[in-house]
Amino acid sequence: MAKTKSLKQERSLLIPYLVLTIASIVSVFPFIWTFIASTHTNTEIFQISKAFVPGTNFFNNYRSLMSFSNIWRNLYNSLYISLLYTLLVCLIDAMAGYAFAKYNFKGRDIVFFICVCSMFIPQQVTLVPLFIQLSAMNLISNPWAVILPALSNIFGVFLMRQNFVAFPNEMIEASRIDGANDFLIFFRIAVPTVKPAFASLAILSFVQQWGNYLWPLIVLNTKESFTIPLVLALMRAGGTIVDYGAIMVGAVIALLPVLIFFLLFQRNFIEGIMSGAVKG
Amino acid sequence: MSRLKGKTSKGIIPWIFLAPFLIIFVTFMAYPSIYSIVISFTKYRAGEFSYAGLSNFKYVLNDPTFRKAIANTFFILIFQVPIQTLLAVILANFLNIKRLKALGLFRMFVFMPVLIDTVSYSVAFSLFFSNSSGGFVNSIIGLFGFEPLQWTNVGILSKIIIITAVTWRWTGYNTVIILGGLQNISADLYEAASIDGATKVKQFFEITIPGVKPVLLFSVVISVTGILQLFTEPNLITKGGPVNETLTIVQYLYNTGFVAFNYGVASAGAYILAIMIAILTYIQLKVTKED
């Protein structure tokens, strides 16, 4: 009796296994294919027989990519923008979130309300005025033109506020009595208690900025200032003959940092998103 | 005395914490949002803005290309979001079966597509769906005896490429969000229900669905908003073609603002998009609140 039941249970797991396996293959295949395609010539990329075996054209593709743009320079731009943005967004949003969560001050609720409302304004509304503004500030083709507007990340403030709310007021009071000032309390005591929130905000911000396309396309106008996605998009858009092999080498270079980052912090990545949504 | 001093300094301290964010927020969000309204009522010519009344709004609302872009975007929306949500709910439920082995691995694989940058995956998908008979998808349908399709030359097929690409990228992300909701449901509820003799199906509709509703709502709202802001995929995979068949609202805004430099019309169009997003979000919140 018990045996037939467990057999039945095993059989009922067949469909979940099957579906999850197919979903995994479909999800991962384009990644593998990107690596494989980067080793093929432009004609081989269009042959399905070559889709599963690596070719020998990687270095030619790389050379052709480099003759289009110095991809290491572009990689540097991508890293510079994404890392600096991530660092600043964590700092700024944590400070703001802490103020909203732990202080009672005049105007707090109205300021918070305005911030939350502006979450519903799509980025596209500010495209034209921001472009005019940044041109006037002489920041076109400067990495800060990408970083500064993105720092207005209300989602992050919201996430941090939610996490700081649980930080006990008694701890703040006690530290004050011990003579610690508010900034010391924030950096030394409060911040370490919300490390997981920092991890998820950092990861989300990095990945989002890494793949950012529309806004950099508008404000970065020289090849020297381009991030990797812009180079790849420009190669794809250009001329009648598109060198897909070279684009795929660029795609691999764009993919590697995120992939390494992900494999190292896989758990924080996924759990950060799970908890972020539940709390938000 | 010292108490009083403590109080006054406390009045300033929260503003110091807020200052960096508020300065950025006002300069790069609040101010341009308002400035954008001003621009939408002006005409921009040779570096000068002049008052233009409602003409930009009239122009954009009567522009057949803008209407086409709205129709395309909504076409993609009504197919993509339900398909993706259904897939995500199924996958999340399977990933929540604790008896399965290698759950962490499955979860990781399914989540991975969100990591790839939009440009790289758009190029990859444009190659999968290439029109040549040796193209990936054409080869697969060839195995079943179908003729190769002219993917980017037929409107409906181009839309299918976009829908497939976006679904590939975002299903895993939404699966993880929904899985978070599922894992927040207390196991006691299911135990109590099965003691009361409730079937699995009944449990699904009476415990699971209400339990994940907030998270599901969140997932649908961000998906709808995301589709309304769709840009990279049509821009790179189909270039909006064939003949504007996959032109989206944001592509229209980009072309108007930064190719034709028609700032007023682009700003007016952006506000119309903002209003659409606000209305749709409101409807979704309202509909799910009722029952």
Q: Three-class SS string for chain B?
A: CHHHHHHHHHHHHHHHHHHHHHHHHHHHHHHHHHHHHHHHCEEEECCEEEECCCHHHHHHHHCHHHHHHHHHHHHHHHHHHHHHHHHHHHHHHHHCCCCCCCHHHHHHHHHHHHHCCHHHHHHHHHHHCCCCCCCHHHHHHHHCCCCCCCHHHCHHHHHHHHHHHHHHHHHHHHHHHHHHHHHCCCHHHHHHHHHCCCCHHHHHHHHHHHHHHHHHHHHHHHHHHHHHCCCHHHHHHHCCCCCCCCCCHHHHHHHHHHHCCCHHHHHHHHHHHHHHHHHHHHHHHHHHHHC
For residue A48, being part of any structural domain is answered with: no
Query: B58 lies in a domain?
Result: no
Domain count, chain A: 2
Q: With beta carbons under 8 A apart, name residues in chain A contacting B225.
A: 122
Same domain, B141 and B18: no
Residues B117 and B253 in one domain: yes
What distance in Å separates the CA atoms of residue A123 and residue B274, rounded to the nearest whole number? 9
- Is residue A271 domain-resident? yes
Q: How many angstroms separate the CA atoms of A275 and A38, rounded?
A: 36
Computed on alpha carbons and rounded to an integer, the radius of gyration of chain B in Å comes to 24
Tell me, yes or no, whether B35 and B164 share the same domain: no
Residue in A closest to B6 by C-alpha: A176
pLDDT of residue B1: 36
Residue B244 domain flag: yes
Q: Do B257 and B172 lie in a common domain?
A: yes
Is A82 within 8 Å of A203 (Cβ atoms)?
A: no
CA-CA distance, B267 to B262, in Å (whole number)? Answer: 9
pLDDT in tens, B25-61: 999 999 999 999 999 999 877 677 888 889 999 999 9
Per-residue pLDDT of B241-288, as tens digits, reads 899 999 999 999 999 999 988 999 999 999 999 999 989 988 888 887
SS3 A43: coil
Whether the CB-CB separation of A232 and A247 falls below 8 Å is answered with yes
Interface test with A, best of B24, B117, B118, B218 (most A CBs within 10 A): B117
Kindly state whether residues B268 and B135 are assigned to the same domain.
Answer: yes
Residue A3 resides in a domain? yes
Query: Residue A179 has what pLDDT?
Result: 85
Supply the CATH number for residue B112's domain: 1.10.3720.10
Torsion of Cα atoms, A222 then A225 then A230 then A236, to 10° = 50
- Interchain pair A122, B108: CB under 8 A: no
> Does the residue A44 lie in any domain?
no
Burial A89-102 (b: 16+ CB within 10 A, else e): bbbbbbbbbbbbbb
Chain B nearest CA to A1, separation (Å): 20
- Whether B11 and B147 map to the same domain: the answer is no
Question: Same structural domain for residues B167 and B71?
Answer: yes
Residue A41 lies in a domain: no
> Is-contact A203 A269, C-beta < 8 A?
yes
Nearest CA in chain B to A89: B21
B273 neighbors B228 (Cβ within 8 angstroms): yes
Say yes or no: B17 and B111 in one domain: no
Nearest CB to B250; choose among A19, A124, A130: A124
- Same domain for B104 and B9, yes or no, is no
- Rounded to the nearest 5 degrees, what angle is found at the Cα of A32, between the Cα atoms of A226 and A68? 30
- The reply to whether A269 falls in a domain is yes
**What does the pLDDT read at residue A147?**
97
Say yes or no: B107 and B26 in one domain: no
**B203 or A95: which carries more pLDDT confidence?**
A95
What is the span of the domain harbouring residue B18?
A: 2-40
Question: Does B289 have pLDDT greater than 80?
Answer: no
Residue B15 maps to a domain: yes
Q: What percent of chain B has pLDDT over 90?
A: 62
Q: Do A19 and B91 touch (CB under 8 A)?
A: yes
Q: SS3 of A16, please?
A: helix
pLDDT higher than threshold 60 for residue B5: no
Cα Rg for chain A, rounded, in angstroms? Answer: 24
CA dihedral (B24, B26, B31, B32) positive or negative = positive
Q: In this structure, are A116 and A217 located in the same domain?
A: yes
Residue at B157 is within a domain: yes
What DSSP designation does A55 have?
-
Residues B151-167: tens digit of each pLDDT: 989 999 999 999 999 99
| Contact between A213 and B121 using a beta-carbon 8 Å cutoff | no
CA angle B267, A222, A213 (to 5 degrees): 50
What is the C-alpha to C-alpha distance for residues B33 and B52, in angstroms, rounded to an integer? Answer: 19
A182-220 burial code (b ≥16 CB/10 A, e <16): beebbeeebbeebeebbbbbbbbbbbbbbbbbbbbbbbb
- From chain B, pick out residues whose CB is under 8 angstroms from the CB of A34: 116, 120, 124
Compute the C-alpha angle A250/A251/A257, nearest 5°: 100
ipTM: 0.87
The residue of chain A with its CA nearest to that of B220 is A277
**Reported confidence tier of residue B75, pLDDT bands at 50, 70, 90:** very high
Residues B285 and B159 in one domain: yes
Q: Which tokens belong to A244?
A: 């897909």
Rounded CA-CA distance B74/B276 in Å is 11
A6 and A83 within one domain:
no
Q: Nearest-CA distance from B60 to chain A in Å?
A: 15
The domain tally of chain B equals 2
Q: Which domain holds residue A15?
A: 1-29
A212 within a domain of the structure (yes/no) = yes
User: Is residue B143 in some structural domain?
Assistant: yes
Sign of CA dihedral B58, A124, A116, B73: positive
Q: Rounded to whole angstroms, how far apart are CA atoms B11 and A179?
A: 18
A214 touches B257 (CB < 8 A):
no
How many angstroms separate the CA of residue A38 from the nearest CA in chain B? 11
> By CA distance, what is A179's nearest residue in B?
B6
Beta carbons within 8 Å of B115's beta carbon, 6+ residues apart: A207, A255, A258, A259, A262
DSSP letter, residue A155: H
Q: Alpha-carbon distance B114 to A266, whole Å?
A: 13
Handedness of CA A183, A184, A185, A187 (dihedral sign): positive
Q: Answer yes or no: do A2 and A73 share one domain.
A: no
A76 and A17 assigned to the same domain: no
Burial of B81 (0-12, 13-18, 19+ CB in 10 A): buried
Residue A49 falls within a domain, yes or no?
no
Point out the least confidently predicted range of A75-89, B67-81, B199-213.
B199-213
Tell me which residues of chain A have a pLDDT lower than 50: 1, 279-280
Same-domain status, A262 and A212? yes
Decide the pairing of beta strands B42-45 and B48-51. Answer: antiparallel
Residues B70 and B12 in one domain: no
Are residues A64 and A101 both part of a single domain? yes
* C-alpha separations of A206 from A64, A212, A245 in Å: 29, 10, 27
